[in-house]
Amino acid sequence: MENIILVNGKVKFSITLDPSVWIFDERKLELTTFFDKRKNKVNELEEYTKSISKHWDREITEGAMVPSVVKPKKKYVKELLLTGTFGIRFEPFLQNAEPYEEAKTVVIESIDNKYPIPIEEAKELILCFSSIGKPLKEDGPIHVYFGDGSNKQNPIKNVRNFCIE
């Protein structure tokens, strides 16, 4: 039972989270690169416009080229699962719990402390459940990271409960 985390408080539905099954969830994120990608977030429309523009210029100067056949790279999913560090967003769990309108705060309760966070910021939380292919047993079952990665070096550990207040 120590690997189970509760989401309760001012919610319509209390939820029980089991991080041991998230490895099979399609929503999982690879955390070794996640925070770096968020910092380097670019305007997708601008990138698309630049690439189309470049393609158009090339066709004007060189003419149309026959597309080359690109063989897809094989991904070794099993190896990635055995060596990766993974997390999952907290927002879908919070939405499923359906907090009441008067709920303003999510309190992350660990073994030794409580961390109140505004509910809007809590939607951005990342729950890390695996480090280098292993579940977080010693100081887990999850580590909580803020969405901006500001606590990347010192995440909230030993989390047992999320209380919506």
Burial (CB < 10 A; 0-12, 13-18, 19+), residue 19, is buried
The answer as to whether 83 is a domain residue is yes
Domain count, the chain: 1
Please spell the DSSP secondary structure of 132-159, one letter per residue: TTEE--SS-S-EEE-TT-TTSSS-B-SE
CB 153 within 8 A of CB 111: no
Q: Is residue 97 part of a domain?
A: yes
> Does any domain span residue 141?
yes
Instruction: Between 117 and 70, name the one with better pLDDT.
Output: 117
- 159 neighbors 144 (Cβ within 8 angstroms): yes
- What does each C-alpha distance from 109 to 27, 143, 161 come to in angstroms? 24, 12, 5
- Rama region for 72: left / alpha / beta (φ>0; ψ in -120 to 50; rest): beta
Give pLDDT, residue 77: 65
Q: Residue 74 has which token pair?
A: 């094989």
> In angstroms, how far apart are the furthest CA atoms of the chain?
67
Measured distance CA(86)–CA(98) in Å, rounded: 25
What are the tens digits of pLDDT across the range 80-129? 767 778 889 999 999 999 999 999 999 999 988 999 999 999 999 999 98
Q: How many CB atoms lie within 10 A of CB 87?
A: 26
Domain of 10, CATH number, reads 3.90.420.10
pTM: 0.72
Note down the domain range covering 129. Answer: 5-37+75-164
- Does residue 67 form part of some domain? no
Q: What pLDDT, in 10s, does the model give residues 3-20?
A: 889 999 999 999 999 888
Cα separation, 9 vs 73, whole angstroms: 47
Say how far apart CA 117 and CA 124 lie, in whole Å: 11
116 assigned to some structural domain: yes
Indicate whether 50 belongs to any domain.
no
The larger pLDDT score, comparing residue 80 to residue 139, is at 139
Is residue 31 situated within a structural domain?
Answer: yes
